[in-house]
Amino acid sequence: MEFGWELGRQPVEGSGEIAVSQNVSPVRTTDLKAMKARGEKIAMLTAYDALMARLLDRAGVDVLLVGDSVGMVLLGYETTIPVTLEDMIRHTQAVVRGVRRALVVADMPFLTCHTSLDDAVRSAGRLVQQGGAHAVKVEGGGSVVPVVRRLVDAGIPVMGHLGLTPQRVHQLGGFRTQARSAEEAEALMTDAAALERAGVFALVLEAIPSGLARRVTQTAGVPTIGIGAGPHCDGQVLVTHDALGLTDGAPSFVKHYARLADAMVEAVTGYVSDVKAGAFPSATRSRGDAREEES
């Protein structure tokens, strides 16, 4: 995929739009490693549609993850397991349409990495070729190393994911902190090293002790992106809808940067009230009347 464009977009006065400098280059996988080297933190959030992607991109988010968390956040599933490859392709296409700068990473959904290496390449290839993803994310440790190596050999950038891997939620016994014992911590360190040797360009560390996340970050030559893993990673990722206060029951590590659910309910309540009272639409807001007056 060619990224030869330049932003060249001026903020609209009074719109609240954040100014974006001219000639800003798109974020690439190699840029993340350079950010780690110079100590610049990486900001990553989830996105599932073009509108949200456009807003997050405008705000300066470095990486947008089209997560299979779309199943829980938007589709009403209790886990990420029901999300299909077709779901991921469709949502990735939407996100890519809204992005000009951010790196777009798409999750490989349940079982797409575990039937065969050929199936994994075909699935990842569809996310890149049809979905437009710039990279894919693969959950798991040593067992997925052959898959990572094969995808990288095929020219598909891969982000790893260790710790709490939601696709294994039933096997893990729920959404809980991982690698709490010394043995589990050493196993995770081994997996991180193996994934790096296989060619991942970054590692997501989810729900592991902050001390362990620090060890991985200090040892790994690739950036680490934490979620519920403390402050020592090279970057952080959150589910956007959690961070914006749009979901109920967000994890305890989430910081709510807004309470948009309350604001939306208040706004819609006002709309319902106006409609019931006959206050909306007023004559001045009727497009049909306006056309009649113009004619």
Average pLDDT over residues 26-30: 98
How high is the pLDDT of residue 21? 44
Q: Which residues are catalytic?
A: 206
Tell me the backbone φ, ψ of residue 158, rounded to 5 degrees: -125, 130
How high is the pLDDT of residue 42? 98
pLDDT value at 57 more than 60: yes
Predicted confidence band of residue 22 (pLDDT cuts 50, 70, 90)? very low
How high is the pLDDT of residue 173? 59
Q: Nearest 5°: CA angle at 89, between 149 and 158?
A: 20
Q: What is the rounded CA–CA span in Å between residue 63 and residue 204?
A: 12
Average pLDDT over residues 263-288: 90
Over residues 8-18, the pLDDT tens digits come to 333 333 334 44
Task: For residue 190, count other CB atoms closer than 10 A to its CB.
Answer: 12
How high is the pLDDT of residue 3? 30
Whether the Cβ atoms of residue 98 and residue 52 lie closer than 8 Å to each other: yes
Over residues 209-231, the pLDDT tens digits come to 999 999 999 999 999 999 999 99
Q: How far is CA 91 from the centre of its chain?
A: 11
For residue 292, how many C-alpha atoms fall within 13 Å in the half-sphere facing its CB? 7
Between 237 and 16, where is the model more confident? 237
DSSP 220: -
**What pTM value is reported for the model?**
0.88
Over residues 83-114, the pLDDT tens digits come to 999 999 999 999 999 999 999 999 999 999 98
How high is the pLDDT of residue 9? 35
How high is the pLDDT of residue 289? 57
CA distances from 250 to 175, 192, 238, 245, 255 (A): 12, 27, 10, 8, 9
Whether the Cβ atoms of residue 86 and residue 132 lie closer than 8 Å to each other: no
Alpha helices (runs of H) in the chain, residue ranges in sequence order: 29-37, 50-58, 70-73, 85-97, 117-129, 145-153, 169-172, 182-198, 210-219, 240-243, 260-277, 287-294
Over residues 177-218, the pLDDT tens digits come to 787 899 999 999 999 999 999 999 999 999 999 999 999 999
How high is the pLDDT of residue 175? 57
How high is the pLDDT of residue 250? 86
Q: Which residues have C-beta within 8 Å of that of residue 8, sequence separation ≥ 6?
A: 22, 23
How high is the pLDDT of residue 231? 97
How high is the pLDDT of residue 10? 35
Domains within the chain, CATH numbers bracketed:
29-258 (3.20.20.60), 260-295 (no CATH)
